[in-house]
Amino acid sequence: MAESGGGDLSRRRWKRHIVRQLQQRDRAQKARFLDLVQAYNKLLEKSSLDELTVQLQSPSVDHQMGGPACSPNHVSASCVPAWDPAAVLTSLQSRQEASRLQLDTLVGELAYKVYEWNQLLRAKDANLEEQKSRLATLSCQLLGLESRRCQLQYQAEELSCRNSSQKDAYNSLQRRFREQDGAFRWALEEGQRLLQGILQRKVDWAQRQNDQIERVKQTQLARDLQEATKSILRVKVESEKVKVEEWKLASRNDPEEKKGGEKLWKRPFRSASATSISTTRCKDVVKGWFDFRLKRGNSVSSGSVDRYCCLPSCVAASLPSQVTDEQEAHISEINAIAFSPNSGVLATGGMDRLVKLWNVVGGRLEKMQSLDGASGSITGIEFDPTGSHILAATYNNAAQLWKVGAGQVKAILTGHTDKVTAAKFRSTWHQAVTGSKDRTVKEWDLVKGACSRTIQVLSYCNDVVCCNNVIVSGHHDQMIRFWDSRDRRCTQVIPMEGKVTSLSLSPDQLRLLSCSRDNALKVIDLRMHAVQQVLRADGFKCGSDGTKAVFSPDRSYALVGSVDGTLFLWNMATGNLEISLAGVHRSSVNAVAWGPSGVHIGSVDQCRKLVLWR
């Protein structure tokens, strides 16, 4: 109501101001015309008097009267003129007529000016009426807008109240979430601690049992050896003829005996070498028994761990010269590509949440299988050393494990709080490492599907590689960090000149290839932990934070894709650009892969294209 009263007061003031302006204009115009009319009347009176005075005082009149002109200061009886009244009247009439004509002309001019002023006044009046009507219209619009403003203000106040209430509810839920999350983390840590305790107790118990069994076996073995050394075996020597006859007879009549499902052959005699135990034979038996213990290697409580050596299968990689196949592999951008260890299968992953497998047959790509079930876009994929499993990193804060041929997700590795940018196997398919934008690197036990270690980093990770017991991670803060699995601290840091987008380990694990946003590839000697080579080329530009570069299988070349779709390949021996492949990709190349056999190269881009080179 106070605002409405203020608006009425403002409108009344505005109207009074307009009325005062109009009154002032009327007074000004009226005063101007009044002066004009008064001047005109005075001019008429003055012209009549001047005419009469000039007529009376003119020399021509004096001449007609026949006498000298009389001074106006000396009027006497002798100066009284004697004139002709008719002539004087005629002269006055002519002069009056001329004056009248002049006055008529002046009156016409003044009348025309009055007409012009009247027209201007009418135009001003019409403009005033138009302004009044416009003012009324605007006043109506102002009233409507004022009511709309009041309505919107009421709605804003209502929304503000609702927002404050929802914010309070959100804050309370946030507090509850933090409390529940803290309790959950505590329970998870307690469960991990209890599990580790149980496993440690189990390992200790198994070790004690193994030690006890070992002592019993060693005691039994020592007792058997002592008994064997005390007993004397007598061998009866027969003639060669008798032995040959007995052997022939045994060969004809020796039947098969079955005992426990196994075939046993009766021997006609036992030789001295088979029945006697010498000191050398005892040593061989003991050595063989201990060799068996060493080969077995694991206690009864620990699962067997198969480790695979990365033996190079390529002696000399062939340089790509032509395109053997092109496919529109996915329905959206492709981010990752990888060859299987035998180079017979190619895997691709993209924004459509699919991992597709392709058979490489005769330089052609044949669709093999689609692995669905991913909870987010694929950022990276890798085969395990046997080629039977695929590990993929996704945007949905997780990594997923598939078994090739099964089609179903075997394990989902959750625990990151931001998208996972890299997922790599260790030396076996039982262990893996992931890097994420949540500034952590995690080690995983794939048998249990649980995180075995979390490494906190100062910057989010773009890629990781694994080398024996060392994990190497490339980060957004232009750093490459080295982590030892046996030490929780960072063992080495190598600074780069741009954000690290990818890491590639040479097959001999002696050199590391990094790609960064300063449009350069750097080769790092892992023995010296220093940059050995810097590879640059005119036209090469890193397209994104996920651009991948790779070594060739024979460690002779480095390959990467550029933002304009060109593939650049450097010779590692000379450090010079060997070849550049342009004209096939029309958009930024996200990733490249070189088959372990050294024959084929695969590349994928942002426009869903998969290209196989040879």
Nearest residue to 547 (alpha-carbon basis) of 513, 582, 592, 577: 592
Q: What is the pLDDT of residue 43?
A: 77
- Nearest Cα to 499, choosing from 550, 442, 460? 460
Mind listing the pLDDT tens digit for each residue in 433-492? Answer: 999 999 999 999 998 889 999 999 989 999 999 988 899 999 999 999 999 887 778 889
* Whether 346 contacts 325, CB under 8 Å: no
- The CA distance from 77 to 24, in Å, is 60
| Residue 197: pLDDT band with limits 50, 70, 90 | confident
- pLDDT at residue 246 tops 60: no
Q: What is the pLDDT of residue 39?
A: 74
Cα separation of 199 and 450, whole Å? 15
List all residues 6 or more positions away from 557 whose beta carbon is below 8 Å from its beta carbon: 317, 319, 551, 569, 570, 571, 572, 578
- Separation between Cα atoms, residue 7 and residue 585, nearest integer Å: 68
pLDDT at 599 over 60: yes
Residue type at position 174: Q
Closest CA to 382 of 463, 501, 304: 463
360-398 residue pLDDT tens: 998 899 999 999 878 889 999 999 999 999 999 999 999
Does residue 178 surpass a pLDDT of 60?
A: yes
Considering only CA atoms, which of 92, 109, 121, 97 is closest in space to residue 29?
121
Angle between helices 2-57 and 85-230 (to 10 degrees): 150
pLDDT at 236 over 60: no
Using DSSP's 3-state secondary structure scheme, residue 232 falls into coil
In this prediction, residue 604 has a pLDDT band, given cuts at 50, 70 and 90, of very high
Q: Which residue has the higher pLDDT, 343 or 91?
A: 343
Q: Which residues pair with 73 in a beta bridge?
A: none
The pLDDT tens digits for 539-575 are 999 999 999 999 999 999 999 999 999 999 999 999 9
Burial of 465 (0-12, 13-18, 19+ CB in 10 A): buried
Q: How far apart are CA 288 and CA 294, in angstroms?
A: 10
Residue 534 in this model has a pLDDT that exceeds 90 = yes
Task: Give the tokens for residue 225.
Answer: 């050896």
Residues 289-303: what's their mean pLDDT?
Answer: 38
Q: Poorest-confidence range of 154-158, 193-197, 292-296?
A: 292-296
Residue 7: predicted pLDDT: 66
Q: Name, of 225-229, 232-236, 286-290, 298-302, the range with top average pLDDT.
A: 225-229
Please give the pLDDT value at position 441. 95
Alpha helices in 231-269 (DSSP H): 240-253
Q: In the predicted model, is pLDDT for residue 255 greater than 60?
A: no
Statement: residue 127 has pLDDT above 50: yes
pLDDT higher than 90, residue 37:
no
What pLDDT is stored for residue 227 in this prediction? 79
3-state SS class at 364: strand
**Residue 386, helix vs strand vs coil:** coil
- The dihedral built from the CA positions of residue 479, 512, 426 and 516, taken in this order, carries a sign that is positive
| Burial of 435 (C-beta count, 10 Å sphere; 0-12/13-18/19+) | buried
Distance from C-alpha of 469 to C-alpha of 486, rounded to nearest angstrom: 8
Residues with Cβ within 8 Å of residue 555, at least 6 apart in sequence:
506, 507, 508, 511, 572
Of 131-140, 278-287, 383-392, 523-532, the range with the lowest mean pLDDT is 278-287
What is residue 105's three-state secondary structure?
Answer: helix
